[in-house]
Structure 1
Amino acid sequence: MSDRTGWPAVRPWVADLAGAGLCFAVSSPVVVIIAYYHRAPAAGYFAGLALACLPLLVRSRWPFQVVAATLAANAAQLALLSFPGPSPAATGVALYTVAVRTERRTAWRIGAASAALLFAVSVIRRPGPDSLWQYLAVLAGMGLAVASGDAVRSSRRLLAAAVERADRAEHTREAEARRRVTEERLRIARELHDVVAHHITLVNAQAGVAHHLMRSDPDHAYQALERIRDTSRAALDELRTTVGLLRHGESPDAPREPAPGLAGLDALLASFRHSGLDITLERTGHPTEPASITDLAAYRIIQEALTNTRKHAGPVPARVHLDYRPDVLRLTVEDDGRAGTGTQGGPGSGTGHGMIGMYERAKAARGTLTAGPHPAGGFRIHAELPLHTGRKG
């Protein structure tokens, strides 16, 4: 078992027991030396050391109270014995624990007060310069204990903050990956919808013409069947290209064909005219080559708008207007469908994926799109797309 920083997790009582035992073991040689130097029984010194280390068994649970208990034991030994008592290591361990578990200012205040008390008791009990180095050593030991605890606390916080940032970065990467997958799925869905809906609508319209003329005008019916063949072939080619790109990904051998754009607008409008739409195209301003994302978005918006016109309003007059401004392409598609003939996006007119796709394409190109019926009938779609990437009209 380990904590978030990777260090093994240790139960608090185990750490307390280990700390108390280590303090007693480290201080025992000092007790032996002091007892030998003063030619006194070592048992009393060991008893005093054990008494000072005993509170350390609960230092994780009550750190401030343990500081007070160890400080009282060490101060009493210094005051009551005629010679230096056991090392105040227990107070140092308690101060280290407080420094690890509390704020820096509080730890240093408690450490300074503890060191001042031990120093004052020592000076009062044994005044004179002979033992000054011992008193300074006590001050240095208390300061070292607080500084060590403060350093450990700071390093743990830094490590915990680093682990938290790493976790947050990992979650962000996962969220970003999911977002990109979702965007890619939407992009693929838009492409497939535009390709399939456009060609199937034309095939359906041309099949209706062929069925209507099969007996009365076989020649024209034959021409309609030829257009069905050409339209279905074009649909298969576009689907093959799209699926090929998905299958091969970024492979250099992947089939790559130019994405449709306004350069192919005349052919697109011709396919709709063959299905019965009377389409008028008007270009104003100074035509210029737009950015690739704008070029594709404009083409697909016109394609979807006219597909909806043919599907929902039938063979009615329609107008496409491209207005080239210095930074913006204004695109308008209108039809003369009448109330009751089924307009784009009307009740029962479909799933609405086509309209959603047009809005998403305009947004992806950093443009805007509005759509709605005319009061007298018909439908109008208007989009404003930036001609250059990074700029929005």
Structure 2
Amino acid sequence: MALGTVRGWVRSHPTIVDAVFATAFVGLFFLAYFNGRHGPPVPVADSTASHVLAGATAWFVIAFRRRSPERLLLLATAVSIGIIAATGDRHPLLIIAWMAVAYTFARRTNRRRAWLVAGGCIAAVYVATGLLTAGGWAAPSNLGAAAWSTAFVAVADATRSRRAYISEVEDRARHAEETREEEARRQVAEERLRIARELHDVVAHHIAVINVQAGAAAHVLKTKPEAVEPALAHIRRAADTVLKEMGAVVGVLRGPDELGPSTEPTRGLAKLAELLDTFAAAGLQVEHRQEGDARDLPAVVDLAAYRIIQESLTNAHKHGTGKAQLTVAYDTGAVRIDVRNAVAAPGRGTGYGLVGMRERAAAAGGTVTAGVEPDGRFAVHAALPATMEETP
């Protein structure tokens, strides 16, 4: 039989194991007690009944000490006092049996109850020994038995406290591990959303430009071949730009040190003129108006403003009539963005662009609203907090 199987059987049958141990212990005790070098301390004929009672009680409390240790502790105490009253001395087998069941009891209950019950039993036996034995209160055997009994209860209480502490530490460690895993999953989900939003913002605009220019080139290829070259040049520039920005985004994702300097594309309202030029080259006329004095913005606000304008104008280019109005207002406590355009045909987009704009605005502490106004034009309104104190 394998060692693991034996251990499993022992753990699943504790009462049987305790009964076997109690039988062996009581048998060996009496064998040594009656066949010792000097024989038993008292004549056998004078204590036969006490030996039988002590042996039966010791076997019973040791064999069943795991089931009801408190009651068995009281039983062992009562039998010990009875034998003291009958014979004038404590029975050594009951002293050991009492310590065994007291240890089990103190380990399985709380500190207050362990010392209340066990301490009461120790005091009762000590008083009975002091009153009913020849040695009196200060007898070494009486004091020694009380001291050893107290020590066993103290050791059991310390063991219980240590195991409770280890269990608490393990529970906290397990909870911390579960919390870390949940936090890691949350961060992964947030990072996936950020990557998806960034890729959408980087790719959508330039792909839209490429699509429009490719359509224009195909349209004029037969009738105006000389107009194909500018369209192909726009396609090449847009493709080159999107490849560079994609490379920068991938570089951020593959960077080994997240705490190092970021290589994310440094877009912001300082690049707005360049962005409007690309739309103009693609055929979108943007009427741009600025209100208030331009100022440096926090990085997250600056990037969010740029991406919101980029996505709004991209949608206007795809679904509009070729014209759009853009207003950027620098207020005392915020930057406000308004993009309006007439709708040529209802769009069938995925909606990820609008979701991305709202997420970017929320990350910067702002808001974005989008929808068709009463005059039939589609409008995007964004408000991003940027107080004067927040600027560098």
TM-score range, shorter chain: 0.7 to 0.9
Q: How does 1:272-311 map to 2 (within 5 A)?
A: 272-311=279-318
Q: Secondary structure at the residue paired with 2:343?
A: coil
Report the equivalent of 1:51. Answer: 56
CA RMSD of the aligned region, Å?
Answer: 3.5
- Report what 1:168 is aligned to: 175
Give the distance between the partners of 2:237 and 2:269, measured in 1 at CA: 21
Structure 1 CA distance for aligned equivalents of residues 81 and 388 of structure 2: 77
Unaligned runs of 5+ in 2: 1-9
Residue 179 (structure 1) shift:
2.0
Measured after TM superposition, the shift of residue 162 of structure 1 is 0.2
More moved, 14-23 vs 140-149: 14-23
The number of aligned residues is 375
Distance 1:99 1:22 in 2: 24
Q: 2:242 aligns with which of 208, 218, 235?
A: 235
SS in 1 for 2:382: strand
| Distance (whole Å) between structure 1 residues aligned to residue 123 and residue 352 of structure 2 | 79
1:4 is matched with none
Deviation, 1:160, is 0.4
CA-to-aligned-CA distance 1:15-61 (integer Å, 9 cap, x gap)? 74587589769978995789758353499586565334212111112
Contact 2:84 / 2:133 at 8 angstroms: preserved in 1? no
Task: Give the partner amino acid of 2:181.
Answer: E
Q: Residue 143 of structure 2: which of 119, 132, 136 is its match?
A: 136
- Contact 2:88–2:134, Cα closer than 8 Å, also in 1: no
Distance of aligned partners of 1:16 and 1:326 in 2 relative to their CA distance in 1, 3 Å threshold: farther
Q: Report the counterpart of residue 383 of structure 1 in structure 2.
A: 382
Q: Which amino acid aligns with 1:323?
A: A
Residue identity opposite 1:224 in structure 2: A
- SS of 2:369's equivalent? strand
Which one-letter code corresponds to 1:53 in the other structure? A
Contact residue 291 and residue 389 of structure 1 kept, 8 A:
no
**Native 8 Å contact 2:206 2:242 kept in 1:** yes
Paired position in structure 2 for 1:40: 43
CA drift of 1:182 comes to 1.9
1:179–1:255 distance in 2 versus 1, CA, 3 Å: closer
Q: Distance in 2 between matches of 1:193 and 1:100?
A: 63
Query: Aligned in 2, Cα 1:57/1:269: closer, same or farther, shift over 3 Å?
Result: same
Which amino acid in structure 2 is aligned with residue 386 of structure 1? P
Q: Provide the rounded CA distance (Å) in 2 between the counterparts of 1:133 and 1:331.
A: 94
TM-score (norm 1): 0.82
- Percent of aligned positions that are identical: 35
Deviations 1:145-182, CA, capped at 9 Å, x for gaps: 33222221111111001001111111122222222222
Secondary structure, counterpart of 2:271 in structure 1: helix
Query: Structure 1: 5+ residue runs without aligned partners?
Result: 1-8, 344-348
Which residue identity lines up with residue 84 of structure 1 in the other structure? Answer: R
Cα distance in 2, alignment partners of residues 390 and 147 from structure 1:
64
Distance 1:171 1:253, change over 3 A: closer
Equivalent runs, 1:1-393 vs 2, <5 Å = 10-11=11-12, 12-13=14-15, 16=18, 20=22, 36=39, 38-41=41-44, 50-54=55-59, 55-86=61-92, 88-126=95-133, 129=136, 131-250=138-257, 256=263, 258-315=265-322, 317-337=323-343, 341-342=345-346, 349-387=348-386
The letter for the 2-side match of 1:69 is L
Alignment check: 8 A CA contact 1:96 1:146 kept: yes
CA contact (8 A) 1:203 1:232 kept: yes
Farther-moved stretch of structure 1 (323-332 vs 268-277): 323-332
- Give the drift of 1:67: 1.3
SS of residue matched to 1:88: helix
Q: Separation in 2 of the partners of 1:167 and 1:194?
A: 40
Distance 1:390 1:85 in 2: 87
Contact 1:52–1:74, Cα closer than 8 Å, also in 2:
no
Distance 1:166 1:102, change over 3 A: same
Task: Give the 3-state SS of the residue equivalent to 2:349 in structure 1.
Answer: coil
Paired amino acid for 1:238: E
Looking at structure 2, the residues matched to 277 and 303 of structure 1 have their Cα atoms a distance apart, in angstroms, of 12
Task: Please tell me the residue identity of whatever aligns with 1:289.
Answer: D
- Give the distance between the partners of 1:385 and 1:22, measured in 2 at CA: 83
Greater mean alpha carbon deviation, residues 163-172 or residues 255-264: 255-264
- 1:252–1:51 Cα change, 3 Å: closer
- Per-residue deviation, 1:116: 2.8
1:280 to 1:173, Cα distance in 2 relative to 1, 3 A = same
Distance 1:209 1:390 in 2: 48
- Identify if the C-alpha distance between structure 1 residues 64 and 19 changes in structure 2 by more than 3 Å, giving closer, same or farther: farther
Separation of aligned partners in 2, 1:264 and 1:156: 64
CA 1:390–1:245 in 2, change beyond 3 Å: closer, same or farther? farther
State the match for 1:5 in structure 2.
none
With the length of structure 2 as denominator, give the TM-score of the two structures.
0.82
One-letter amino acid of the counterpart of residue 276, structure 1: G
- Are residues 139 and 130 of structure 1, via their aligned partners in 2, closer, same or farther at CA, if it must alter by over 3 Å? closer
Q: CA separation in 2, counterparts of 1:176 and 1:251?
A: 17
Contact 2:131-2:137 at 8 Å conserved across structures: no
Give secondary structure in 2 for the equivalent of 1:383. strand
Per mean C-alpha deviation after superposition, the further-off stretch among 60-69 and 206-215 is: 206-215
Using the alignment, how far apart are the partners of 1:388 and 1:359 within structure 2? 20
Write the distance in 2 (CA, Å) between the matches of 1:151 and 1:25: 31
**More divergent stretch after superposition (89-98 vs 253-262):** 253-262
